[in-house]
Structure 1
Amino acid sequence: MTQLDFSGDPPPFGHPMLKYFAFDPNYVNLNHGSYGSLPLPVLAACNKLTLQVESNPDLFVRVKQTELITKCRAQISKFVGANMNEIVLVRNASHGLNTIMRSFEWNAGDVIVTCNTTYDAMQGLARFLHDGPGHPEVSQFVIQWPTSHAAIIARYRAHLESIPRHAGQKIVAIIDSITSVPGALMPWQKLVQVCKEAGVYSVIDGAHSIGQEMNIDLSKADPDFWVSNCHKWLFAQRGCAIMFVAERNQGIVKSSFPTSKLYVSPQDRTFPGESFIEQYNWNGTINFVPPLSITAALEFREWLGGETMINAYCHDMAVRGGAYLASFFGTRVMDHTGEFTCNMVNVQIPLPSDVLPSDEINDIFYHKMLAPTNRKTKVSAGIFHHNGAWWTRCSAQIWTELSDFALLGSVLKEVCAEVVHELGLNQNAGWSNEDR
């Protein structure tokens, strides 16, 4: 592993791991899921590759780059159990999902199925497509926790069956593998099968999957489309993602975005997926170092002990940390059965239920957590409103210890009280035993 500028055995998980990251010593990161966190050895590999690029850009772009992209695609394809000819590198999950969704030729009567927990940018994409040519309708499926995987599957099947059908109609479902807010593992493989039975295209937003969800096997799950960020949980450089397009659907995604010089018009193709891979190897001058850092990230994870060891620690820390916070606040975890929990845990925070969600509330929370005036330590975790209550989404990582949850608890209790005071509310307003 000398090429990553570290050697020997890794330290134990927990705070000893912090030396492999560039965090401010006064910053406690329980929000890794939002933006990812780049390990210093992977950063060193990126810097080395950047110097290689800049030493001779012509040689790198014209000769070396495609070779490295091909190697990277081979590695990550194996990691997610996909055929290599169905995987390309893109900038981020939103980029990939936009490429897919904008490739459909929308007609009147077509339907896009979203969910109330669909990532907000994807909700915006669905609205944008509805406003464009063809005006596909948007049908929203609603999930409110507490619930179960079985209930979601049954209700999703009923939701698809309730959509009026007609000849020539397309129905395209955007499905999260792990929802962003709340951070919850979905039964996405079974929802893919429900879509197949209903004749619905499945577009899986797997932004949080790679590096957090164990045993991803796209060949077995067989979605129509699937996209996942590699800079979130896999430890690659921000931002990079992979886009999976099943070979049967590569005639739908006719062009990369931006369109490559290697684009082939449909009438000139000898097979539907012709030029699919090649277009993503070159579609303008961009920095390929972030996606190529996937190779270094995979090597770093192998050095740490591999996927099972990494995720066992992170999952256990999420469960224990969530239980601690719920006890500290006198509240509850959202997922009391554990079937929705990978390495993110959602815990109700002591904020009155009559405090309604707004940009102002979010700004107050994040300013007081990340730029405090009354304490030295900064702490990050997601804050959101769901089903009449306020929650924190905490991401457990290889550097996390229970003391980090304790610090977050004390900060959030303090911030919740300040929010109530600033809004002129009663601390107990709208706070019932049922909430607890």
Structure 2
Amino acid sequence: MDYRAGFYDSTHPPPPFGHAMLKYFSLEPGYVNLNNGSFGTVPRPVTRFCNELTNKVEANPDRYHRFSFKPLLVDSRERIAQLVGAHTDEVVFVSNATAAINTVMRNLEWNAEDIIIQTTTTWRSTSRVMNYIADTRPYPMLSTFKLAFPSTHKEIVDNFRTHIRGLKNNMVTLEGGRPKGKIVAVIDAIVANPAVYMPWKEMVAVCREEGVMSLVDGAHALGQEVGVNLSEAKPDFWISNCHKWLYSRRGSAVLYVPFRNQHHIRTSIPTSTHYVSPRDPVGGPKAPNFVMQHEWPGAIDFSSYLCIPTSLEFRAWLGGEENINRYCRTTAINGAKRLAEILGTRPMDETPNHELTLNMSNVELPIPANLTPELRTQVNDFLELSLLREYNVFAVAFWHNNTWWVRCSCQVFNELSDFEKLGDALIALCREVKMTILKDHMDASTNGRGTSNGKGFHLNSTSPSR
């Protein structure tokens, strides 16, 4: 079946990016989606492919699960491998980035002298995995590298190197000066909140120079970052979702493990029927059987993996990765400037070449910053609910470095007017926040019991920091 029929004609050029693109997606009329980054947005041809595939599966489940799905899965892995600059048998699919992080971290063999490096902006579920490892025998140490934005790539790389060297200087060493334990650094390719493009390739290079293993959490990378080239960057492990920015169905993610490190991944998570045990009879599959273990994790819906070629064909029709991401990045940068004008604040990324920005941008919100955790939760819940219920627009509000921000994710269907609609909504909602949830806080500041943060807001000096 031609999944393009009725949606687009590959022999004709696409319409201009912007609202003319909305007809290729299933978003409800009037909804302004400036939050593609959280869950992705599936094009209608991809949805059709998945629905038709489901019908074929149900028509003959045995034929599909025993024979038909395997060549389709290999094709998807080949397409992804080409996109990220890897060998086909170095990439496998898992359900999401959290599953991929668990697969790596739970397979590595840990010792009490080992150190795991996270950052202050590591995504919570990833951080929870690292905390679990550190909370479990033999209790490796968990070290946190501080990141506070705004910043610059140079500053991040320099501080990261200093952090690693400080840890190494305090490690127990063996005869000859070699550290007794290992260091594993978990590095974001693109931080989620705040949305920041990290100098991850340079950080991986620092890890290689310092003898540190690198796990790159690229949850937002595929479909947003052009020129990943893993064979050149050489991380020890790399993961990325496909459903956030690459137009595949939820949930699908890529786990990249180069051949040199596949011996570390002894089992898929959950353990597959293709796990190879040292107790197995001689003559069977050889460990770690990396690809086969992940090819069949049990009976699941494979459509989110198998739709990837259809997603990439649609993206090719739109003009390809560079064309898509050039538009989205430009809109993110210009949209942030426009939104900051409306709110009377500033974009987070004020570097000369916008080095921190790909397709997501952050803008300061006019809300007092030094709030208790309880008040921050109330403010966040109110903004989320009100944006969707009252204005039918959404972007992610968050608190970072003692400041409130909003993260805007740009897709090919967004325009500057979407930022203006969001700005109008936020002006009204931030005013309401200060008049309701923060009324007592604002009154205390007005009565002189708080101090100014230099941004026109008065802060309670006794409020705990993050």
TM-score (norm 2): 0.89
- In the TM superposition, residue 266 of structure 1 has moved relative to its aligned partner by 4.7
Contact 1:206–1:228 (8 Å) recurs in 2 = yes
In 2: Cα distance, 1:133 partner to 1:148 partner: 37
Give the 5 Å matches for 1:19-418: 19-163=23-167, 164-166=170-172, 167-266=179-278, 274-337=288-351, 338-357=354-373, 358-372=376-390, 377-418=391-432
Structure 1 unaligned segments of length 5 or more: list them. none
Contact 1:227–1:241 (8 Å) recurs in 2 = yes
Contact 1:254–1:266 (8 Å) recurs in 2 = no
In 1: Cα distance, 2:338 partner to 2:329 partner: 14
In 1: Cα distance, 2:288 partner to 2:137 partner: 27
| Alignment partner of 1:420 is 2:426 | no
Larger deviation, residues 57-66 vs 418-427: 418-427
In 1: Cα distance, 2:192 partner to 2:200 partner: 14
Contact 2:106–2:133 (8 Å) recurs in 1 = yes
In 2: Cα distance, 1:355 partner to 1:47 partner: 47
Deviation sequence 1:364-399 (CA, Å, 0-9, x none): 111111122xxxx41110111111110000001100
Contact 2:113–2:180 (8 Å) recurs in 1 = no
- In the TM superposition, residue 80 of structure 1 has moved relative to its aligned partner by 0.5
In structure 1, what is the equivalent of residue 176 of structure 2? none
TM-score (norm 1): 0.95
- In the TM superposition, residue 418 of structure 1 has moved relative to its aligned partner by 1.2
In 1: Cα distance, 2:378 partner to 2:368 partner: 16
Contact 2:276–2:287 (8 Å) recurs in 1 = no
- 1:353 is paired with a residue whose SS is coil
- In the TM superposition, residue 328 of structure 1 has moved relative to its aligned partner by 1.4
The amino acid that maps onto 2:199 is P
Deviation sequence 1:236-279 (CA, Å, 0-9, x none): 00110010011111111100111111111257699986411001
Contact 2:349–2:356 (8 Å) recurs in 1 = yes
- 2:205 is paired with a residue whose SS is helix
In 2: Cα distance, 1:273 partner to 1:300 partner: 38
Superposed CA RMSD in Å reads: 1.9
In 2: Cα distance, 1:183 partner to 1:378 partner: 22
The amino acid that maps onto 2:266 is K
- In the TM superposition, residue 295 of structure 1 has moved relative to its aligned partner by 1.1
In 2: Cα distance, 1:68 partner to 1:56 partner: 16
The amino acid that maps onto 1:369 is L
1:431 to 1:294, Cα distance in 2 relative to 1, 3 A: farther
The amino acid that maps onto 1:308 is E
The amino acid that maps onto 1:367 is L
Structure 2 unaligned segments of length 5 or more: list them. 173-178, 458-466
- In the TM superposition, residue 129 of structure 1 has moved relative to its aligned partner by 0.9
- In the TM superposition, residue 53 of structure 1 has moved relative to its aligned partner by 1.1
In 2: Cα distance, 1:215 partner to 1:273 partner: 32
In 1: Cα distance, 2:323 partner to 2:279 partner: 50
1:435 to 1:278, Cα distance in 2 relative to 1, 3 A: farther
Deviation sequence 1:302-339 (CA, Å, 0-9, x none): 01111111011101100110000111112111110100
- In the TM superposition, residue 4 of structure 1 has moved relative to its aligned partner by 2.8
- In the TM superposition, residue 360 of structure 1 has moved relative to its aligned partner by 2.2
Task: Specify the structure having the higher radius of gyration (Cα).
Answer: 2
The amino acid that maps onto 1:155 is N
The amino acid that maps onto 1:152 is I
In 1: Cα distance, 2:452 partner to 2:248 partner: 42
- In the TM superposition, residue 67 of structure 1 has moved relative to its aligned partner by 1.0
In 2: Cα distance, 1:409 partner to 1:278 partner: 49
In 1: Cα distance, 2:152 partner to 2:242 partner: 28
In 2: Cα distance, 1:276 partner to 1:353 partner: 47
In 2: Cα distance, 1:165 partner to 1:294 partner: 44
Contact 1:331–1:435 (8 Å) recurs in 2 = no
Contact 1:91–1:240 (8 Å) recurs in 2 = yes
| Alignment partner of 1:3 is 2:3 | yes
The amino acid that maps onto 1:3 is Y
- 1:371 is paired with a residue whose SS is helix
Identity %: 43
- 1:207 is paired with a residue whose SS is coil
- 1:347 is paired with a residue whose SS is strand
Deviation sequence 1:133-182 (CA, Å, 0-9, x none): 21111100011112110111010001011112234412111100000011
- 2:220 is paired with a residue whose SS is coil
